[in-house]
Amino acid sequence: MEQIEITLKLNPQQQAQVANLFYEAFPLKVKYLWFFTKTREQAVELLAQSIQFEQGIYVIRNEEVIGFLGYNLGKKAFAPAKYKAFQKVYPPFAAMWRYFFYTLYLRFHMYNEDILQIDPIAVSEKARGTGIGKLLLHEVEQLAKTMQITKINLEVVDTNPSAQKLYERFGYMIKKELTSGLFTAKAGFKKVIFMQKCVEINSPT
């Protein structure tokens, strides 16, 4: 059986793999909700320029990233809105309005510093069904405990019921649901489920 490795650090080639995997996991969201990109190349370049790789947990097999979990903490996002990144991909006006809409989107997905927000979690197609998602959820819980953070938030859409069931098995509870309807239909969903897990932290003796 091929061994896998959990890491918090990546080489440049693996960082590029993360940007590609991010796009492959959420192509409709990238195109119709986040960046409004016209091509895969634009999306991957923008992600590579934006991602804060230090805010992620990565699963490696044979030097290849097969899954990752990014997280937002306080006002620090895993994939923040960086105007310079948009400028490198688009002409001035196109960069400006895309940056504006993505900044607006992020405002509704940032929480207090005492909450860790999973955003996103992705597993490569060839590694799905092998427990990588479970492994990442376990690792982020350990990370939260190390950081003395007691709450982990995540969002799942109505068209991904299998992911919601996995989160429920891990102890995540539904906090609220938001019907987005036609606004997000092109992005592949019409409702967002907000979930949270409370993490027990052992007090120092």
- How does pLDDT run across 106-165, given as a tens digit for each residue? 887 777 778 999 999 999 999 988 899 999 999 999 999 999 999 999 999 999 999 999
Tell me, what's the pLDDT at 182?
79
Residue 39, number of CB atoms within 10 A of its CB: 10
For residues 87, 27, 61, 59, the Cα torsion angle rounded to the nearest 10 degrees is 80
More confident residue, 12 or 74: 12
- Read off the pLDDT band of 204 (50, 70, 90): low
Residues above pLDDT 90, as percent of the chain: 77
Amino acid making up residue 90: Y
Say how far apart CA 115 and CA 149 lie, in whole Å.
6
pTM for this one?
A: 0.91
In the predicted model, is pLDDT for residue 61 greater than 80? yes
- Read off the pLDDT band of 188 (50, 70, 90): confident
Tell me what the mean pLDDT of segment 50-74 comes to.
Answer: 96
Domain ranges of the chain: 4-198
Tell me, what's the pLDDT at 205?
54
Residue position matching structure tokens 């997000």: 184
CATH 3.40.630.30 is held by the domain 4-198: yes
Token digits for 195?
């979930």
CA 82 to chain centroid: 16
Amino acid making up residue 94: A
